[in-house]
Structure 1
Amino acid sequence: MKEITVPAVLEELDRVLEFVNGELIACGCPVKTQMQLDIAVEELYVNIARYAYHPEIGNATVRCTVGGDPLQVTVQFLDGGKPYNPLLNEDPNVTLTAEERSIGGLGIYMVKKSMDEIEYQYLEEKNVLTIRKKILN
């Protein structure tokens, strides 16, 4: 499993995406799957950058591995910020108009809908959020 550790700030988003995309390109990941993963990685990393340590700044580690049968990519996000399980939030009511919905929650909902698996753990004083997506050619 390869990993990158960066300061959890928005300015590092491109570096995180380049890291994950490097692994996806190396395994011949289809563009559609890569785009779904890019959206999920962006959403999850931005949430860490905005909320995990606020108002302080800490580090975020992103781990990426590709393998298995069927072939799949696993991306893990680790931070030492405030314990927070985004999977416990109620899904937004997407049948309402944007004006009728409460603010927040749509990003993690999109991640849950586009990934094959998503799980959260709090281990050794770290938030660990893992997403998995099968790579179908």
Structure 2
Amino acid sequence: MNSILLQPEINELDRLNEFIINELSKEDFQVTLIVEEIFVNIVHYSNTEFIIVNIEYEKPRLTIEFIDNGFEFNPLLKEQHGPPYGVDETQLGGAGIYLTREMADEIDYHYESNENHLIIIKNVE
């Protein structure tokens, strides 16, 4: 498993994407979208001091773990909204979690030693 330590700043997203592409040896649109949604949510809402991302790739299974010491938040307990059918139905918040749930093959969360651990598993061709 390889790891990267990131500051909770949006400009770190480029470093994170490079890290993941290097591990996969290619870019995967769904993985990029999942990573961006989760990372941006952590940066904007968690009040964390750091973000650690662990990655393990054994074809075809990609495991990405996000660790932060921000507010305890289990995204799996967030009420799940379906996709909006038009601009009038769009709700603020929750779209990133919805997209992640739809694209990931497995998601797990636990809170341990004052840290959030979000584990996302995605089969990548």
TM-score (structure 1 length as normaliser): 0.85
Q: What is the number of equivalent residue pairs in this alignment? A: 125
Distance in structure 2 (CA, Å) of the matches to 1:98 and 1:105: 15
Contact kept, 8 Å, 2:9 with 2:43, in 1: the verdict is yes
Distance in structure 1 (CA, Å) of the matches to 2:110 and 2:121: 15
Gaps of 5+ in 2: none
Please, which of 31, 34, 39 is the counterpart of residue 37 of structure 1?
Answer: 31
Gaps of 5+ in 1: none
Contact kept, 8 Å, 2:63 with 2:122, in 1: the verdict is yes
Residue matched to 2:16: 16
Answer yes or no: is 1:124 the counterpart of 2:118. no
Q: C-alpha deviations, 1:84-136, integer Å up to 9, x for none?
A: 01111111132542322321111110111011011111011100001111123
Residue matched to 2:104: 115
Residue matched to 1:77: 66
Instruction: Provide the secondary structure at the position in 1 that maps to 2:93.
Output: coil
Instruction: Return the letter of the residue paired with 2:103.
Output: S
Structure index of larger Rg = 1
- Runs of 4+ residues over 2 Å off in structure 1: 93-98
Answer yes or no: is 1:91 the counterpart of 2:77. no
Instruction: Return the letter of the residue paired with 1:92.
Output: H
Instruction: Return the letter of the residue paired with 2:50.
Output: N
Deviation at 1:6, TM superposition (A): 1.1
Deviation at 1:59, TM superposition (A): 0.5
Distance in structure 1 (CA, Å) of the matches to 2:84 and 2:24: 33
Distance in structure 2 (CA, Å) of the matches to 1:88 and 1:49: 19
Change (3 A) 1:94 1:66: same
